[in-house]
Amino acid sequence: MKLNRYINPQNSLAAYFFIQNLPRGMLLSVIPLQAYALMGNAQDASLLLFAVSVGGIVAALTLPILIRRIGIYPSYLFSCAMMILSACLIMVEQAWFFSTGLFCHVFAIAAAEVTLSIYVMGRIARAQMTSFEPLRVFFSVSALTIGPFLGVYLQNRILHQLPFISCIVFMLIAMVWFRVLGLQHTRIPVTRAQSVNPLKYLPRYFSQPRLRLAYGLVLARSGWWTMFIIYVPIYATQSGLGELTGAALVSIGTAWTLSVPFWGWVARHYGVRRLMMLGFATSSALTFLVYLVIDLPTIAAVLLVICALGATMLDGVGNVLFFRAVRAGERAQMTAVFVTYRDAGQLMTPGLFAVLLSYFALPVVFSSAALWMCVAAWFCRYIPRRLH
C-alpha cells in the first residue's frame, strides 16, 4: 500500500529527504574532527580531504555510465550500500581505513544526489519546482542541522562507535521508506542515443550559459558550507571552545534552515535574483566580521552562527536555477555534471586552504570565504529577472 495515496505526494517526497540525509548529517562534524585527530593539524587534514574529493569528482562523472548499465533504482541502492560501507570503514581509527571510507562516503553522497535529482525531476513538474525545492531543502538541511551535534555527542558522551552504527540503521530505514513511497516505479525517460562519455557531456554542460551560471553560484554556496562544516569545529578546538561546542555551532548555524520555506516564499514573490544577491552579500559581510574578531572566540562563535543565515537564504532557492535550465532529454548527463558542485566545493575549499594555511594562520579561512561570496553576489546580476 503506497503512502502517496493518503499524503500529498510532493510533501511526502520532500519529507523523505530528511531520513535520507540524516546518516550523512551525523558524520558531518565527526569526519573533520577525526581527520584532524588522525593527521595532527589543520593543513594535513585539508590535504587528506582534498585528495579524497578528487576521487569523488571522478567517480561522480561516471555515474551516468553506472545508471545506463544497471538502471536508476539499482544505482540508488548502490549509493546506499556505499554509505553503509563508508560508516563501517571510518569507524576504524586508522588512516588508510579512514581514507577509503571517506572516498566511499563522498561517492555515496554524489550517487544519491544524482539518482534522487532524477527521481525529483521525474515526479515534480517544472512549474512546481519553486514551491517543492524550499520544502525539500528544509527537510534535507534539518537533518544536517540535527546530525552534527548528535553525532559528536553520541561519540564523545555515550559510545565512540554509536554515530556510525546509527548511520547504518538510518540508511536502512531510508531504503525501506523509498519503497514505501513507490519511487522505484517512477518513469524515467532515457534517450539511448545520448553519449555517456564524461568527456563529451562535460563540455556540453558548460557550453550552456544558464547551466554554467547555476553551477558557479551553487559551487560558491557549497564551498562556504564546506568551510563552515570543516573549519568551525577545528577553530573551536584550537581556540579552546572544545569539540562539542564546535559541533554545536555547526548544528545551530544550520538550524537557520527552519526559515527555508520563508525564503522560498520571498523568492516566489520578489524573485530568485534579489534573494540570491542578498544571501551572498550577507554571508560575505558577516564572514569577514568573523575574521576581524577571530581572537575573541565567544564573539566569533556568535557571529559564525549568525552569518549562516545568509547561506540559508540561498538554500531557500535550492537547485531551482539548474532544474529550470536543464533539458528533459539530458537530465541524467547534466545532473551528473551538476552534482559535482558538492565534490568540487569539498575539493576546492580544503585544497585552497591547504595552500593558504602553509603561509597564514587559520583566520585566512574566513577572509577567503568572505571574498568568494562577495564575487558570487556580483554574478547574481546575470540571473534572469523573470525567474520566480
Query: Which whole number is the average pLDDT over 21-34?
Result: 83
CATH number for the domain spanning 102: value is 1.20.1250.20
In a domain, 107, yes or no: yes
**Cell for 18?**
530528511
**Cell for 215?**
553551477
pLDDT of 193 > 60? The answer is no
Q: Torsion-angle region of residue 197: left (phi > 0), alpha (psi -120 to 50) or beta? A: beta
Please state, rounded to an integer, the average pLDDT across all residues of the chain. 81
Positive or negative CA dihedral for 365, 366, 369, 371?
negative
pLDDT at 6: 43
pLDDT at 80: 92
- Looking at the structure of the chain, the number of domains it has is 1
Q: Torsion-angle region of residue 195: left (phi > 0), alpha (psi -120 to 50) or beta? A: beta
pLDDT at 316: 73
Per-range mean pLDDT, top range of 1-5, 49-53, 361-365, 367-371: 367-371
Query: Which whole number is the average pLDDT over 376-380?
Result: 91
Share of the chain above pLDDT 90, in %: 13
Q: 5 pLDDT band (50/70/90 cuts)?
A: very low
Q: How far apart are CA 34 and CA 100, in angstroms?
A: 14
In a domain, 354, yes or no: yes
**Cell for 81?**
550500500
In a domain, 190, yes or no: no
Nearest to 322 by CA among 259, 268, 387, 235: 387
In a domain, 369, yes or no: yes
In a domain, 2, yes or no: no
* HSE of 248, CA atoms in CB hemisphere, 13 A: 11
**What is the DSSP secondary structure assignment for residue 362, as one 8-state letter?**
T
In a domain, 9, yes or no: no
Q: Which domain holds residue 42?
A: 15-184+198-382
pTM reported for the whole predicted model: 0.68
Q: How far apart are CA 109 and CA 89, in angstroms?
A: 16
pLDDT at 10: 66
* 110, 339 contact by CB (below 8 A): yes
pLDDT at 126: 66
In a domain, 193, yes or no: no
User: pLDDT of 292-315, one tens digit each?
Assistant: 988 898 899 889 888 888 888 887
In a domain, 8, yes or no: no
User: pLDDT of 82-126, one tens digit each?
Assistant: 999 999 998 887 878 888 888 888 888 888 888 888 887 777 776
